[in-house]
Amino acid sequence: MVSEIDKRKNRVVLSLGGNIGDIQLVFEKARDSLQKTVGELVLISSLYQTKAWGVENQSDFLNQVIVLETTLSPIEVLKTCLAVENELGRVRKGKWHERVIDIDVLFYGNELIKSKELVLPHPYIKDRNFILYPLVEIMPDFVHPIFKKTLLELKNNCKDELPVVKI
């Protein structure tokens, strides 16, 4: 039996990234699949283009942030995101390497989670402009539950110097 608290809708913030193939089409398919499996899409950022972060000798990335309302648990959201990545042809070549799609769970409400499978909020948010720019576009006043600063404040203090271009 599902309790009332389990039926409560929670806002989950996801980032989409990719740099292989028709990225915009892949993002569209990912959003469609996530709406069917995770929940209702309530916010969507513009697309942003950046140079590769971490492993630099590869094509530029497109990035986008979406917010969905879900009744799934954080771990169920993660497993669903991994399944969608696989559906869309994600091949894991190594950390920060090229990919058709990468879906990261950034926030699940204000939940703080630290497990082997999932850390929330995502630990690198404050260090990556390619995540902060789309986040600030759609939720600038959201307060990071660990740093107690708005996303706009985190963006303004980010040391990442890779240019981020809204497309």
Write down the domain spans for the chain: 4-166
Residue 87 in this model has a pLDDT that exceeds 50: yes
Please tell me the distance from the alpha carbon of residue 30 to that of residue 24, in angstroms, as a whole number. Answer: 10
Which among 6, 22, 90, 92 is annotated as catalytic?
90
Has 102 been annotated as catalytic?
Answer: yes
* Predicted pLDDT at 3: 42
4-166: CATH, from 3.40.190.10, 3.30.870.10, 3.40.50.720, 3.30.70.560: 3.30.70.560
Which among 11, 60, 102, 141 is annotated as catalytic?
102
> Of all residues in the chain, what percent carry a pLDDT higher than 70?
88
Has 104 been annotated as catalytic?
Answer: yes
Has 92 been annotated as catalytic?
Answer: no
Distances (CA, A) of 19 to 26, 53, 71: 10, 12, 31
Residue 92 in this model has a pLDDT that exceeds 80: no
* Predicted pLDDT at 54: 67
Has 141 been annotated as catalytic?
Answer: no
Give the number of other CB atoms < 10 A from CB of residue 69: 15
* Predicted pLDDT at 1: 38
**pTM of the prediction?**
0.91
